């Protein structure tokens, strides 16, 4: 403890008088203890006062909002009920429209089913269709004096079909074929 008169510090808490100035330290310890207790009580009183004020404000706010909420809820409920009645009317009208549409569709299905039954009873057995023949591939060996136009005339009956032979054999220049070259000819299908 520090001596309030000479400001010297005493390390022994049991020492009753200051070693420097012989001041009675016991009284000052009692005063210090009382001050600490008073300070703690002031804190408690402040905390209690703050808590009380908080509770009063909270109760007032709760009462205000609870009262207003109940009043506005009643208004909102009436509005909501009115909107729901309008929506129910709309849905009932929609239901009636859909029901009448359903009846019409059932009638159409019945008429179409009867037509289908009549058509099946009058059905003529059709001949199975013949599969289309696949074209034949011929390998032609180029002879002396032949050109793509001549070869096209021989196989296709038209010399202008030489471009078809060029395409089937990836030939870029019609004049670049050689004797002995093998050409793929896709023969036309004849029935």
**pLDDT on residue 52:** 92
Question: Which has the closest alpha carbon to 162: 183, 191, 138, 135?
Answer: 183
Question: What does the buried/exposed string (b/e) look like for 41-51 if buried means 16 or more CB atoms within 10 Å of the residue's CB?
Answer: eeeeeeeeeee
Average per-residue pLDDT for the chain:
84
Contact residues for 27 (Cβ-Cβ < 8 A; gap 6+): none
Higher pLDDT, 132 or 145: 145
Confidence of residue 124 (pLDDT cuts 50, 70, 90): low
- Distance between CA atoms of residues 151 and 139, nearest Å: 12
Lowest mean pLDDT among 7-21, 23-37, 115-129: 115-129
Residue 10 exposure: Cα atoms within 13 Å on the Cβ side: 23
- Distance between CA atoms of residues 146 and 154, nearest Å: 11
Lowest mean pLDDT among 71-85, 106-120, 130-144, 159-173: 71-85
Residue with tokens 């022994």: 12
Phi, psi of 49 (to 5 degrees): -65, -45
The domains of the chain, with CATH numbers, are 136-187 (3.10.350.10)
């Amino acid at each position: 403890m520090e001596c309030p008169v000479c400001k010297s510090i005493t390390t022994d808490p049991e020492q009753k008088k200051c070693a420097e100035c012989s001041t009675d330290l016991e009284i000052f310890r009692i005063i210090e203890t009382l001050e600490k207790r008073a300070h703690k009580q002031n804190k408690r009183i402040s905390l209690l006062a703050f808590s009380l004020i908080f509770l009063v404000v909270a109760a007032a706010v709760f009462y205000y909002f609870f009262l207003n909420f109940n009043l506005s809820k009643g208004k909102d409920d009436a509005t909501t009920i009115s909107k729901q009645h309008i929506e129910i009317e709309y849905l009932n009208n929609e239901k009636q429209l859909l029901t009448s549409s359903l009846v019409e569709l059932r009638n159409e299905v019945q008429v179409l089913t009867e037509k289908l039954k009549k058509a099946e009873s009058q059905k003529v057995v059709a001949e199975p269709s013949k599969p289309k023949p696949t074209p034949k591939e011929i390998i032609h060996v180029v002879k002396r004096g032949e050109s793509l136009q001549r070869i096209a005339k021989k196989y296709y009956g038209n010399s202008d079909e030489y471009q078809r032979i060029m395409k089937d054999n990836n030939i870029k220049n019609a004049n670049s074929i050689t004797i002995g070259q093998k050409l793929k000819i896709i023969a036309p299908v004849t029935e």
